[in-house]
């Protein structure tokens, strides 16, 4: 078995694992949302009850789409052809657009639920700008003040 065959086998395995992870995330989110929909639908008749369920389902879908996009990128990692690169560009564009609109809808729904809460923070930020304050110095051993 050549080094190239080993890389291709590893790449196929990685793609399969990431695709299954993405499908599992979407499946778990859909099952969770369906169960919550039935449970809340039996107890409440208000449409407002379903908004948090939709928000959570949207988050599951967004995460699942991110996994699927990662699998598509991995698929072209080992010696891609121009055909594969073109397909990846089309798929990435479609999935990125889906993610964009899902996130926008999630932010809009979140603002409807909690109007005082600011819209979604940028990825990697805490959402609130807090001034950095240094910690007070630690007391010296034997200091009783």
Residue 124 has pLDDT above 70, yes or no: no
pLDDT for 31: 97
Provide mean pLDDT across the span 115-121.
59
CA distances from 83 to 86, 88, 97, 144 (A): 5, 9, 21, 74
| Letter string b/e over residues 17-40, b meaning 16 or more CB atoms within 10 A of that residue's CB | ebbebbeebbeebeeebeebeeee
For residue 144, name the pLDDT band (cuts at 50, 70, 90): low
| pLDDT tens-digit readout, 54-113 | 889 989 999 999 999 899 888 888 778 888 889 888 988 998 898 889 888 888 888 877
**Three-class DSSP category at 73:** helix
> From CA 70, how far away is CA 98, in angstroms rounded?
15
pLDDT for 109: 82
Q: The tokens of 88 are what?
A: 């990846």
| pLDDT tens-digit readout, 33-45 | 999 999 888 888 7
> Whole-model pTM?
0.67
pLDDT for 126: 43
In degrees, to the nearest 5, what angle opens at C-alpha 118 toward C-alphas 113 and 119? 80
Answer for the pair 53, 29: CB distance below 8 angstroms, yes or no.
no
> From CA 110, how far away is CA 46, in angstroms rounded?
17
pLDDT for 117: 61
| 16-25, 64-73, 114-123 — most confident range | 16-25
């Amino acid at each position: 078995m050549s080094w190239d065959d080993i890389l291709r086998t590893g790449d196929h395995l990685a793609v399969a694992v990431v695709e299954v992870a993405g499908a599992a995330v979407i499946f778990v989110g859909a099952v969770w949302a369906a169960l919550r929909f039935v449970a809340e639908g039996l107890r409440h008749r208000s449409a407002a009850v379903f908004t948090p369920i939709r928000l959570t389902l949207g988050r599951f879908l967004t995460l699942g789409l991110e996994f699927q996009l990662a699998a598509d990128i991995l698929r072209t990692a080992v010696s891609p052809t121009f055909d594969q690169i073109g397909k990846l560009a089309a798929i990435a564009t479609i999935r990125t657009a889906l993610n964009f609109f899902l996130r926008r809808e999630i932010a809009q729904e979140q603002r409807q639920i909690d109007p005082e809460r600011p819209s979604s923070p940028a990825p990697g930020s805490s959402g609130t700008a807090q001034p950095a304050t240094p910690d007070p110095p630690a007391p010296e051993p034997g200091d009783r003040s």
